Amino acid sequence: MEEIESQDMASQDIPQETPAKDVFIAPSIHGQAILAGASYTHHSPISEVVSRNLSTECILGVDEAGRGPVLGPMVYGLFYLPLIQHRSLLAQTHHFDDSKVLTPTFRSSLMKALCTPGTDLYQNCGWATRVMSARDIGSGMLKPAGTYNLNAQAMDATIDLIKDVFAKGINVREIYIDTIGNPAMYQKKLERIFPTTMITVAKKADSLYPCVSAASVCAKVTRDAALEVCYQTYASAADAPEEPQAAAEGWGSGYPSDARCTTWLKGHMNPVFGWGSECRFSWSTAKDLLEAKGTGTKVDWPVEDDEQGMRVTDFFSTTADGAIDKESNELTSWFGRPVAEEVF
């Protein structure tokens, strides 16, 4: 199953993935939407340098955070800046790198600088995030027909973010993206959508290209803060005085391989509804707990028998001899008459 593969791919380095206790709350955190289980997009203002001259050639990177967890959203981050400042500003001056190898404190400090007017990052760089809620991820993957799998959801989020930047008039010349699945196939699809832009899709792009590293920081800090928002509904509950006050101490990283996460899931499962909108019900971790003997409540939904269903024409009035009257006959003609089997 795809979701199991996603867990295996993204469940490495759990200590680095544990949310920071004092994560920076960026403008990309929309508390009400997160608590409602809604997905949303946030864009920073166009940077001062780029807004003064929209013809400035820019480089853009995209990366995600939270692909594998059973708890919390998956967040896509996008980052752009003038092409000539790519490595000097991001790598040499501020030491951006793959968010997983940076400490939570350093990630937060970079994000804070990016959001603070007057800093060189704020003046030169623009960024955006797409928060894909656990509820929406699960509902897409659990559709009874035409499953909207995680790769498709991720690709659509990436494409929409890039389109938004082009719609703002930003002159994007180069795009770098950390791979989803097969890099060559993904790159060809993007080249068809954005034919005038040089596009590179590569594995470990977050370690190779500073703009992708910066995008990964935006995504990771936003996800960590979103986890805190979700967790506070439990930490502040009046009937749970022993509940840890931070997500890192409660459900941990949110990954299935994290013992803190699975322990929290077992201890907070409602026998009927399971968990809240913070949980990806399409993950086998959640499904196995709900279906385990003696834990969840089994519900049998009544299924209507189509054979007993009524037709629209069953409600038309008839005359004494059983024929449909003239007024009803007009409605019958409108909806159509049954055809005898002999016709076929």
Binding site for a divalent metal cation: residue ranges?
63-64, 178
> Which of 117, 140, 108 is closest to 20 using CA atoms?
108
Structure tokens at 145: 């027909």
Length of the chain, in residues? 344
Nearest to 5 by CA among 260, 180, 216: 180
Nearest to 213 by CA among 114, 126, 91: 91
Q: Is 269 helix (H, G, I), strand (E, B) or coil?
A: coil
d(CA 32, CA 19): 20
**Could you write out the DSSP letters of every residue in 97-163?**
--GGGS-HHHHHHHHHHHTSTTSHHHHH-EEEEEEE-HHHHHHHHT-SSS---HHHHHHHHHHHHHH
266 burial type by CB count under 10 A (0-12 exposed, 13-18 middle, 19+ buried): exposed
User: In the block, which residue shows the tokens 């000097």?
Assistant: 88
Q: Say if residues 18 and 252 touch (Cβ distance below 8 Å).
A: yes
Could you tell me which residues are annotated as the binding site?
Answer: 63-64, 178
246 CB contacts (<8 Å, ≥6 apart)?
A: 19, 21, 228, 231, 235
Angle, CA of 67, 106 and 177, to the nearest 5°: 40
Alpha-carbon separation of residue 165 from 25, 88, 219, 341 (angstroms) = 23, 23, 17, 59
